[in-house]
Amino acid sequence: MLLQKLTEKQFKDIAKLVYDKTGIHLEDRKLGLLSNRLRRRLKALNMTDFAEYYRFINSDKGFKEEESHFLSAVTTNETYFFRNDQLWKFITDELIDHYIQTKKSGRKSIRVWSAASSSGEEAYTCAIVMRELLPNFSTWDVKIVGSDISNNVLDKAKAAVYNDYAVSKTSPERIKKWFVQKDGAYHLKDEIQKMVEFKFHNLRDSMAKGTYDLIFLRNVLMYFDVAMKKRVIDVVTEALAPNGRLIVGDVDPIRTISELSSHMTLEYLRPGVYGKPSITGVDASGRKQMVTT
């Protein structure tokens, strides 16, 4: 028989391992939830108690073998296409026009990073919107990167095959246009798939500096303590290109936690949206002048 649930000590040991490996902070109230999720892994590995499982994942060999399953168990991956109507209304009604106006000269490229992208719905939604709304799309160079710490969800994202729930907020017209229905599932068409690249990435690690015009960091910061939240803010701020936009989750801790608000260097533009200024020139004293448009 398996133990009913983790003991407090076992939970703290596993929570510390999660934090050391990912920076994710598991609150004490998650003990029962984690017990239920890990119980499935014990059954799959033919283990009889949580102590045996902890010894396994706490070893280099064991963690390497179990990493993707373990990380999937300790993170929440629920998502779907066009999640949050107001967000996508802002993107379609305002943000696309922002990029059209600011990309008039030079190479018309847009780089997007969907951080903690889970099984890819957010990244692919962005690809659909860009494909539909950018004028003369063939003249644009659009590249979207989706990243996550779980190889399990990254594999799902790369496969781009979704169930009814994933497309439940997608209009029938869009489903018909961008998906192929086969064997009771929705297969995303190649022209959208090829716009997105998925890769493993831990949010405490740097990404390419000044690369991305748009970064999604939605429903992620809640998993971290204040120190890790600051680190993640630094990572995305560094990765954001001048005149770029950062979109955070529905509940924005940056505005409600004073330590984060004072730490943030991006400009607050509207609920959930921050901008990085663009360099426009040099003032009389020789200092760079910055403006967010």
Residue 63's pLDDT is what? 87
pTM (2 decimals)? 0.83
**Top-level CATH class of 85-281?**
alpha beta
Q: What pLDDT digit, counting tens, does each position of 49-63 carry?
A: 899 999 999 998 988
Phi and psi angles of residue 169, each rounded to the nearest 5 degrees, phi first: -105, 10
Strand, coil or helix: 43: helix
Structurally, at CATH architecture level, domain 8-74 sits in: Orthogonal Bundle (1.10)
For residue 44, give both structure tokens: 């799959």
Distance of CA 240 to the CA centre of its chain: 14
Q: Where in the chain is the domain with CATH 1.10.155.10?
A: 8-74
Query: What rounded mean pLDDT belongs to the chain?
Result: 89
What does the alpha-carbon distance between residue 198 and residue 128 come to, in Å, rounded to a whole number?
16
Q: 287 pLDDT band (50/70/90 cuts)?
A: very low
Q: 1 pLDDT band (50/70/90 cuts)?
A: very low
Helix (H) or strand (E) holding 217: strand 212-217
Q: Where in the chain is the domain with CATH 3.40.50.150?
A: 85-281
Q: What pLDDT digit, counting tens, does each position of 171-214 carry?
A: 999 999 999 999 999 999 999 999 999 999 999 999 999 899 99
